[in-house]
């Protein structure tokens, strides 16, 4: 949807403050208002009539059933299934004391007046309406109850992103202006894609509400990027796991196009050390080559070995690879002589022969590949 240090968990974002409705707030505080005898008798002798569903103080920005149709695909509300932390507004027609705002509790249920516990986790709003209706009718609390349930506020989704992203791990995704988070949003939170990401075969693993079945949905954000196929950026559900696969060797033009896309991490950090005008850690675009980075770091010094540099790369398994690259600023981007850089790459600009002869013997014989030397090369990334 550069694999280096893992960030296992993203900090939870604080919940938005709830807007209070005209109806009494029931269930969130644990206290219930008992209806009067006249109200109960009225409900038992005549069918309830729909109440006016308008709620003046409800924050309309949190309503997922009022999306802007110009901002992206509109997903049917019934496709969403309630999860822990969601807040719903329950209207019991003609019985305002039973109506109010309720939150799905950690056990996946709503605690309703008089009726008590109603299982709601994994159900659509229509299914919740049916469950509440059957509950009030079966317990003979109401006769022909008419129930309306609307979604007031989505809880953050708990998802996991693994594979070819910058920061794999578990994350909590809040709703975006009442819209469900999507695959692209999850990749953005996970730091963006790497140069090895296969956008054509991203998998979303989803467990059924009863936890008995698992479905795998394959989406192609490449089609979204190249063809505008927004239906590939599917909405996520609580508990989804997003697997971002590694692609086979990707042509350089494709890599650069991916690096410039909104799915990319935006910037990478490289460390240029040695005989260069401006050594140190710098942020560069993810489609930057070795030659471009050298130019950004300024000119070579008079002591530089200008025909060759060393590229050190920290691998996901903890090993370090070192390559010698010829310096020719006329070379186009290619894997052999002018590769694209990855996050935390180190470029070493060595000394020329005459400068080395003039240095002390101790400096000349100082091992480049010693443990402490390698540590010092990658240490700036931890401090930057």
How far is it, in rounded angstroms, from Cα 333 to Cα 292? 10
Distances (CA, A) of 375 to 3, 272, 331, 342, 383: 19, 15, 31, 18, 13
Count of alpha carbons within 13 angstroms of residue 359, beta-carbon side: 14
The answer to whether 249 and 261 are in contact (CB under 8 A) is no
Residues in contact with 310: Cβ distance below 8 Å, sequence separation at least 6, in sequence order: 322, 323, 324, 325, 347, 348, 350
| Token pair listed for 277 | 């005008």
pLDDT for res 274: 87
How far is it, in rounded angstroms, from Cα 79 to Cα 179? 12
DSSP string, 30-87: S--PPPPHHHHHHHHHS---------TTS-GGG-TTS--TTSSPPPPGGG----TT-E
Q: For all residues of the chain together, what is the average pLDDT?
A: 72
Residues in contact with 68: Cβ distance below 8 Å, sequence separation at least 6, in sequence order: none
Nearest CA to 243 out of 159, 122, 343 is that of: 159
The answer to whether 85 and 155 are in contact (CB under 8 A) is yes
Nearest CA to 49 out of 128, 132, 144 is that of: 144
**E strands present in the chain:** 87-92, 100-103, 109-112, 116-119, 147-153, 157-163, 169-173, 202-207, 214-219, 241-244, 268-274, 280-284, 308-314, 320-326, 345-349
Predicted TM-score of the model (pTM): 0.51
**E strands present in 133-267:** 147-153, 157-163, 169-173, 202-207, 214-219, 241-244
The CATH class for the domain spanning 268-383 reads: alpha beta
Angle at 166 (CA atoms; ends 164, 172), nearest 5 degrees = 100
| Token pair listed for 13 | 């974002």
Has domain 157-259 been given CATH number 3.10.560.10? yes
CATH T-level topology, domain 37-153: wza like fold (3.30.1950)
Q: Where are the domains of the chain?
A: 37-153, 157-259, 268-383
How far is it, in rounded angstroms, from Cα 64 to Cα 220? 25
Domains 37-153 and 268-383 share a fold: no
Angle at 83 (CA atoms; ends 114, 118), nearest 5 degrees = 20
pLDDT for res 355: 54
pLDDT for res 21: 35
pLDDT for res 264: 59
How far is it, in rounded angstroms, from Cα 192 to Cα 283? 15
Count of alpha carbons within 13 angstroms of residue 44, beta-carbon side: 11
Residues in contact with 59: Cβ distance below 8 Å, sequence separation at least 6, in sequence order: 16, 19, 153
pLDDT for res 122: 86
How far is it, in rounded angstroms, from Cα 340 to Cα 330? 15
Nearest CA to 274 out of 208, 363, 372, 198 is that of: 363
Instruction: List the chain residues with pLDDT less than 70.
Output: 1-79, 195, 209-211, 249-266, 315-320, 353-384
pLDDT for res 10: 35
Q: End-to-end distance of the chain based on CA atoms, in angstroms?
A: 27
């Amino acid at each position: 949807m550069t694999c280096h240090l893992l960030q296992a968990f993203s900090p939870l974002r604080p919940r938005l403050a709830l807007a209070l409705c005209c109806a009494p707030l029931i269930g969130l505080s644990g206290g219930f208002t008992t209806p009067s005898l006249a109200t109960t008798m009225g409900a038992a002798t005549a069918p309830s009539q729909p109440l006016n569903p308008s709620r003046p103080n409800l924050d309309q920005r949190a309503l997922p059933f009022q999306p802007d149709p110009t901002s992206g695909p509109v997903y049917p509300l019934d496709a969403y299934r309630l999860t822990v932390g969601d807040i719903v507004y329950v209207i019991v027609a003609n019985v305002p004391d039973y109506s109010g705002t309720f939150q799905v509790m950690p056990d996946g249920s709503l605690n309703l007046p008089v009726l008590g516990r109603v299982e709601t986790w994994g159900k659509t709003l229509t299914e919740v309406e049916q469950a509440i209706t059957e509950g009030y009718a079966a317990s003979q609390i109401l006769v022909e109850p008419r129930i309306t349930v609307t979604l007031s506020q989505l809880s953050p989704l708990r998802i996991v992103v693994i594979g070819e992203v910058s920061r794999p791990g578990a994350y909590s995704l809040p709703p975006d202006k009442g819209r469900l988070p999507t695959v692209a949003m999850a990749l953005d939170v996970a730091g963006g894609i790497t140069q090895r990401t296969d956008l054509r075969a991203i998998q979303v693993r989803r467990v059924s509400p009863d936890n008995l079945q698992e479905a795998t949905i394959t989406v192609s954000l490449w089609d979204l990027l190249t063809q505008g196929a927004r239906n590939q950026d599917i909405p996520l559900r609580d508990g989804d796991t997003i697997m971002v696969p590694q692609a086979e060797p990707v042509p350089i033009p494709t890599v650069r196009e991916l690096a410039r896309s909104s799915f990319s991490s935006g910037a990478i950090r490289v460390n240029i050390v040695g005989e260069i005008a401006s050594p140190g850690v710098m942020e560069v675009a993810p489609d930057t080559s070795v030659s471009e980075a050298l130019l950004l770091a300024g000119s070579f010094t008079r002591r530089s070995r200008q025909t060759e540099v060393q590229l050190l790369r920290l691998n996901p398994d903890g090993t370090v690879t070192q390559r010698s690259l010829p310096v020719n600023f006329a070379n186009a981007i290619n894997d052999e002589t002018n590769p694209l850089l990855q996050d935390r790459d180190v470029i070493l600009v060595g000394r020329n022969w005459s400068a080395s002869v003039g240095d002390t013997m101790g400096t000349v014989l100082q091992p480049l590949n010693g443990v402490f030397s390698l540590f010092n090369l990658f240490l700036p990334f931890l401090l930057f």
